[in-house]
Amino acid sequence: MGKALLQVALDVTRVEDALSIAMMARENGADMIEAGTLLIKSAGITSVKSIKQVCRDIPVVADMKVLDTGAEEVELAARNGADIVTVSALAHDRTILDAVIAARNHGVKIMVDFLHVSDPLDRGMDLCELGVDYICIHRGIDAVKAGAMRMDEVMRIVKALSSSCNIPVAVAGGIDDSNICELVRAGAKVLVIGSYITRSADVGRTVRWVKRFIDSA
């Protein structure tokens, strides 16, 4: 991968809101659009297909956080327009391997989400051998509220993984203009940003602002 990319996470509950944000984000330079877990649980897997219909020229991520039946869930997401499917790093290696195989068969990619993984460096090195396409270091909303996994710890993990593993590292959770440049310099190749963009007064303007920070880093 070359320069870092912006993935806009649509953690909303209504498809109408997701489509409006997705179109504005795409028109203003977002590189990837994510159908968030909340959206998929609220509106169903067809919400991914709806987003793909308005974002045909950029990758759409289905944030499934698959924990079991990897092949079946990846196939379901792929048939509904996903280009990338997330699988939980807490899943069994067999689940992740089955997801990878299914992804290859359906022409999609696998992003492994490290939400609540206790030793992300060790787990990251294991996953380098399983053929996944992205590793996502994820600070959960509740964990951040509880004071767990500070951003400086995220920086350390990203730097270590990006220098020791040839898989692109994504980062999600609590990203804004105060830490974008530092994350990119640490080696992050995908910045996953949700509420900072989706709850802003002007989505398009915020996307352009974030892209300037990414490009300047």
| Rounded (10°) angle between helices 93-106 and 70-79 | 30
pLDDT at 146: 84
Q: What percent of the chain has pLDDT over 70?
A: 100
Could you give the number of structural domains in the chain?
1
| pLDDT at 2 > cutoff 80 | no
DSSP reduced 3-state for 193? strand
User: Whole-angstrom Cα distance, residue 78 to residue 82?
Assistant: 5
What mean pLDDT do residues 41-60 have?
98
Identify the domain containing residue 198 by its residue range.
5-216
* Mean pLDDT of the chain, nearest integer: 95
For 81-127, write each residue's pLDDT tens digit: 999 999 999 999 999 999 999 999 999 999 999 999 999 999 998 89
Q: What percent of the chain has pLDDT over 90?
A: 86
pLDDT at 108: 98
Q: Which band of pLDDT confidence, cut at 50, 70 and 90, is reported for residue 1?
A: low
Structure tokens at 80: 């509904």
| pLDDT at 149 > cutoff 90 | no
H helices of 12-170, where?
Answer: 15-27, 37-43, 46-54, 70-79, 93-106, 120-127, 141-145, 151-164
What mean pLDDT do residues 8-36 have?
97
Residues forming beta bridges with residue 190, ordered by sequence position: 5, 170
pLDDT at 150: 87
CATH code, 42: 3.20.20.70
Structure tokens at 186: 């640490």
3-state DSSP of 126-189: HHCCCCCCEEEEECCHHHHHCCCCCHHHHHHHHHHHHHHCCCCEEEECCCCCCCHHHHHHHCCC
For 153-202, write each residue's pLDDT tens digit: 999 999 999 998 899 999 999 999 999 999 999 999 999 999 999 999 99
Q: Which band of pLDDT confidence, cut at 50, 70 and 90, is reported for residue 143?
A: confident
The model carries a pTM of 0.95
